[in-house]
Amino acid sequence: MKFLDEYRDPAKVKRLLREIESIVTRNWVIMEICGGQTHAFLHHGLDEMLPPQIELVHGPGCPVCVTPLEQIDKAIAIATRPDVIFTSYGDMLRVPGSSKDLFSVRAKGGDVRVVYSPLEAVQIAEANPDKEVVFFAIGFETTAPANAMAVLQAMNKGVKNFSVLVSHVRVPPAMEAILGSKTNRVQGFLAAGHVCAVMGFHEYPPIAQKYRVPIVVTGFEPIDLLNGLFAAVKQLEAGEAFAENQYQRAVRFGGNESAQNTIRSVFQSVDRKWRGIGLIPQSGWGLRPDYAEFDAEKRFDVENLLAQESPLCIAGEILQGMKKPTGCAAFGRECTPLNPLGAPMVSAEGACAAYYKYHRISESNVS
C-alpha cells in the first residue's frame, strides 16, 4: 500500500536503529509531542529497540487529555438539560468530570450523541429545530478547520439552534511553556505531522533558536518516527538546533493556507487552560465576536464554572514529560481504562492508555 507498507519495512527499521546507535554518544531526552506518535512508538515496540541513551517522553499532544476538567463539567451541565442534544467525538464521553462523565448523562436519559464530524451536528440541528444542539469543539490545529466550517455553515444556513463548546488548543505555545519551565527535561522535539500539514512549521524555527532545541516534523509510521529521531539526534550530537521537516510527503513550510484562513475567519487566539498544566497565554482559539451567538458557554451561562482536579492524577506531569505513566502511584491500580481517574487513561491518544494497552507496566503498579 503506497505510503504505508514502505514505511513499515523491517529491514529499513533495523537499518535506522543501527544508524541511530552509531551516532549517539550521550544521553538525550526527546519528546514526541503527539499522542498518536506515542501510541505508534509503543505499538511497534520502537521504544524498546532504541539505544539506552535515548529517553522518549510524552507530550501534551492529546486533545482529549489536555481538555481541562472544568470544560468537561461545562459539557455535562449543558448535556443534562432536557432541551439539549449534545454531540461530541466518542473519546470525550468517557472522560471523567468532577462527579460523572457524559456516558453517565446518556445512561440517565440525556440526549448525548457521538458524531464523526461537526457538520453532522449542524445537520442534527437542522433536523431538530425544537432542540438546542451543541457540539464539543475540542482539539488542536487539525480539527479546527472543520469546526470553523461548521460554524460558518450554521451561520450561512441560519441555523439558530446550533452552538459550540470550544476548547481548542495550539501546539507552539505549549512547547514554549514546557521549554520555559524550571522543571523542563526536554532536549529535542518530534513535532506532529498532521498539525503541521495544516499549519506548516514556520512557527518552529524561532522556538528552536530561542531554546536551542531541535524540532523535527515527523509522521506516524515506524520509518517516519525513526527518521525523525535520527535527525534530532544528529542535531543534538552536533550541537545544532533548528526546525527540520522529515514528513515532506505531507507537510509544507507554510502549511495549508486555505485551512488556516478558515480557522482565522471564525477563531481568534485566546488564553487557554490545559488539564494538569494550567493557563498558557495565547495557547487556544475562541470564537471571534462576530460569532458569539454560537458560543455555548455564553448561551447556557456556564462561563464561570470552575473545578478541582483529582490529586491522585499526575496528568500534568506526564503531559509535560516530567514523569512517565508508570511513575504514577494510581496507574494500573485506582486508574485503569475501566475506571480512569484522568483523561490520559481514556483517550485513544493518551500516554497512560498506551502504556496500559501495550504492557509498559511495572510490577509495583499492579501488585
Domain spans, the chain: 5-63+180-245
Residues 82 and 248: their CA atoms lie apart, in Å, by 49
The residues that bridge with 280 in the sheet, in sequence order, are 272
The model's pTM: 0.91
Q: Which CATH number fits domain 5-63+180-245: 3.30.200.20, 3.30.479.30, 3.40.50.12160, 3.40.50.11750?
A: 3.40.50.11750
| Cell numbers at 101, concatenated | 462523565
DSSP code at position 101? -
Residues 166 and 346: their CA atoms lie apart, in Å, by 20
Residues 19 and 366: their CA atoms lie apart, in Å, by 36
Q: Along the 367 residues of the chain, how does pLDDT read in single tens digits? A: 566 778 888 999 999 999 999 999 999 999 999 999 999 999 999 999 999 999 999 999 888 889 988 999 999 999 999 999 999 998 899 888 888 999 999 999 999 999 999 999 999 999 999 999 999 999 999 999 999 999 999 999 999 999 999 999 999 999 999 999 999 999 999 999 999 999 999 999 999 999 999 999 999 999 999 999 999 999 999 999 999 999 999 999 999 999 999 999 999 999 999 987 889 999 999 999 999 999 999 999 998 887 777 777 888 899 899 999 999 988 988 889 888 888 889 887 899 999 999 887 654 443 3
Neighbours of 351 (CB within 10 A): 30
Residue 32 and residue 190 in contact, taking contact as beta carbons nearer than 8 Å: yes
Q: Which residue has the cell 520555559?
A: 180
Residues 346 and 121: their CA atoms lie apart, in Å, by 23
Q: What are phi and psi of 358, to 5 degrees?
A: -100, 20
What is the identity of the amino acid at 137?
Answer: A
